[in-house]
Structure 1
């Protein structure tokens, strides 16, 4: 699991994987830690979100190293999941464009996900999902779109390429404590066009998080166990 910032606590997905018997190794290249060389026997790789921007690859050399790790994972058919920044890095590797919203809007709060016909094997149906991002990606060449979001913010929310690589623009892993951290560390972003107020975010978490987590845990079980079984 590749992390990009000092997250307040292990996220819900990491906890779930550990509780279900996975030996989760956390690597933080932003702190100078070295990325692994994949053997091909890994149960999977997860590349999580963070405040860095794909448009600043030259500023953060470790992101280019992560792009090489993504290429390794895809070449070795290691199950790969990208969340927010992680999905943007995968999209970049696949030749998609990653950039700011052209109208200067950003997402921070809970927004609806509309599932495509191709996404029905991943999503049971529409979800209200937590997002927190300034950049988004165009559809990577050859990728299959799984869900769309608010067309005025980040319309592309999930894609799949091949059998083992998937990217989510939204944040199903965020706990209440991590959302508190967002609201403190990124408080200056609340109020920008497209964002929800703190009270709207709080209400969204109370109303929608349990359903989002139930979907996410089921997805993690299916995604990694299916590939382990094969």
Structure 2
């Protein structure tokens, strides 16, 4: 539990972009650790909070929207979220972005976010190559991570690349950090019910170049998920505690 200077528990905001089957593994873990997790859903019309700079953290989660297609008439809430991200980074609040969240952080840093020219996308478990800074965060070359994305980012100026993907993944860049901001292209938060929801709601994508079959995804989850979840929980603990403005 992270408390403020007067002992109050500080909020940790989780920004969601779709109706997930259940709270994801990261949110469940943070709640179990005593964080005051407050879920905000701008896609439903909810208002983003004003940030004071004393928050325990912010998480920007994934979703079916594309930041490259956001306009004042199409998903305008994403444009508000870009300003929200800029505010969180400017106030030095610990920030984690997952998939769409990582792409929005990259876009807020003026990096390119795009589809592949050939239309390939990732859906399934893929290997990573951890960079030195990624290894310091616990990533390693033996990890398999869950991807579900058709867009990715170029490394923003000033950011440190943490991991890239093996050649079977259409999107090479997988994680970066800058200051108190961590951006993950992959999905360590997905539980088995959420993966089943993916396979139902987004099942039409299976079969596109780069994707794995449902059977491969199921096998990958059974084989690799426990290790991925263990890394994610430990990383959230480190990120939000080590980077928090602890009371003096």
Structure 1 segment 2-41 matched on structure 2, within 5 A? 2-41=15-54
Structure 1 segment 26-175 matched on structure 2, within 5 A? 26-58=39-71, 59-126=74-141, 127-151=143-167, 153-162=170-179, 164-175=180-191
Name structure 1 gaps, 5 residues minimum: none
Helix, strand or coil for the counterpart of 1:26? strand
Instruction: Give the C-alpha shift of residue 123 in structure 1.
Output: 2.4
Q: TM-score, normalised by structure 2?
A: 0.90
Aligned length: 229
1:181 maps to 2:197: yes
**What is the CA–CA distance in structure 2 between the aligned matches of 1:102 and 1:197, rounded to whole Å?**
22
Q: Deviations over 1:41-69 (max 9, x none)?
A: 11100000000001111111100100011
Check whether the contact 1:83–1:168 (CA below 8 A) recurs between aligned residues. Answer: yes
Check whether the contact 1:115–1:123 (CA below 8 A) recurs between aligned residues. Answer: no
Instruction: Give the C-alpha shift of residue 103 in structure 1.
Output: 1.7
Instruction: Give the C-alpha shift of residue 101 in structure 1.
Output: 1.3
Let me know the Cα RMSD of the aligned residues.
1.0
Check whether the contact 1:54–1:99 (CA below 8 A) recurs between aligned residues. Answer: no
Q: TM-score, normalised by structure 1?
A: 0.97
